[in-house]
Structure 1
Amino acid sequence: MTTSIGAVLRSTGLATIDRALLARAEKPRVKVWAGSIAVGHEKRAKAYTPIRNARQMREMIEAAKLYERQTLAQRRTTTPRIRNGAIGQAGIQIIEFLARVIDYSTGALFPSLHTIMDGTGLSKNCVVQALSRLKDARIIDWFRRYEPVPDHEAQGAGPRIKQATNAYRFLFPAFLSEIFAARRRRGVAADPAPACEQYRQIEAARDMERMRDQLPLWELTREERDKRELADILASLGQAIEAKERESSASEDNRRRYLY
């Protein structure tokens, strides 16, 4: 009785293992994010928004700056030393960078994360957080994309795909247009000193006053010495008057207790 080679392989399980390895090799080993669109199909998914003109983009950027200042002022009513509003200064930098590299005619915008980092000088973590804030504010949105791996890069049989750079688009939310229109109706200059700059100026002035108060008299100007000496005289006079009033009040209380 003769036994075929196939029967021997099946009895040992080697044939099953070989088929499993072959099936695994035929499947793509690179996974992509769910909801990703293929490179070249962005128009079908409406991933890009064409820009009408440069003025539209400039007004949107200016409105975003005004929005950042307003939200920063609101947050400082409860947290005085906070530095960022709803989108932060990093978000403003990213908006300005994306406005420089976008294709106005088609709206095509797909820079890599490292390209944004190089263009803004921000760290990866800072860029990721700023993009998240811009998306939450409905100022910027993006779609994930994927593309096939070239044949010379693919390993083994079967199709290969990889994650590509995101496709970004500006949403031009209505609230930014309203902010810009309200500022223009009031006739206020388009670029006043930001609230953070005003805050820094106030803090710097206070620090300077505290520093001058700690300087010895011989390091002050004549005018500053006169002011300090006058302030010391007035303070001493005030203390003397308060002490005299307390002494008079105590004497009056003693006299009343003696009489009654």
Structure 2
Amino acid sequence: MPLSFFVRPHEHLVEEYRNILLVDWNPPALERTLELAHHTLYDAGLHVMFRWAQAPASGSPRPQHYIIPPGASDDVVEYINNLNKQKAEAFRKRRTSPDSVPPPEIRLAEETAFHLSVPSGGSFRRSEIIIEDPTGFYRDVRSIVFRLAVEHLLPPLMQHHVTHSYFLAGSLAEFARSEWDDQPQHRDTLLAELFEQIGRKDEAIVLRESALHATNPDAHEYLTKAQALIHAYLDIGDVDAAERELFKAIRATREEHDEEIQSLLGDIYVARGMSLAAHA
């Protein structure tokens, strides 16, 4: 029987979430959102201590282990087991030696992977720990972590710490697929952002098309998804496809959002001119 922790966020956590939505989503915002994720679990009764942190005082409960997602590949299992061993060693020594502290981007990667790997009650993943999240607050916080990690954390890892980037990318994909299975349009949007970052642009376009088609044209995020798809086509140089999607968006939104439509028309006009010049 898994041990359940119930997320019932207090007002100060909700207020911090709202504030994060309003700030620039830059690298410091990732650290801020991870801190909110930590406090959310702590508020639910789950204390998380990472391997580089000072071990708790005598008598404090042992820290929870990182969770291994069911069906994880052998390299992911080995990676997480090594993290758990290192954390247990830090606990036994009651201190962390300076040379054992990983660089900031790896610390952020480990924190991010932990939060993305924790299964919620609505997930098909199972483990010894389940986070009951009836309001979806923790899941929403983790979605922000996902997006910030894709944009600001994954690129430096891919450049300097390839092994960690593979592990993080796998955790990101697993989170989107398992925790957002009930909302395919959001799931596919998250996966598209990930695939674009790792260079799988054709697959990202398929996912963006799927996300757009699953979204009601009256929904406020419909045009946002249409814009993302149009720019994805422009990024690969398919101006004709971008133009077709723009006309679909104009018809679907009944010619509303004039400012956004005009901006997209301008982007397509510039891309068309560059394409013609390149073939002149």
TM-score, normalized by the shorter chain, greater than 0.5: no
TM-score (norm 1): 0.24
- TM-score, structure 2 length as denominator? 0.23
Greater percentage in strand: 1
Tell me which of the two structures has the higher relative contact order, counting C-alpha pairs closer than 8 angstroms and 6 or more residues apart. Answer: 1
Larger Rg: 1
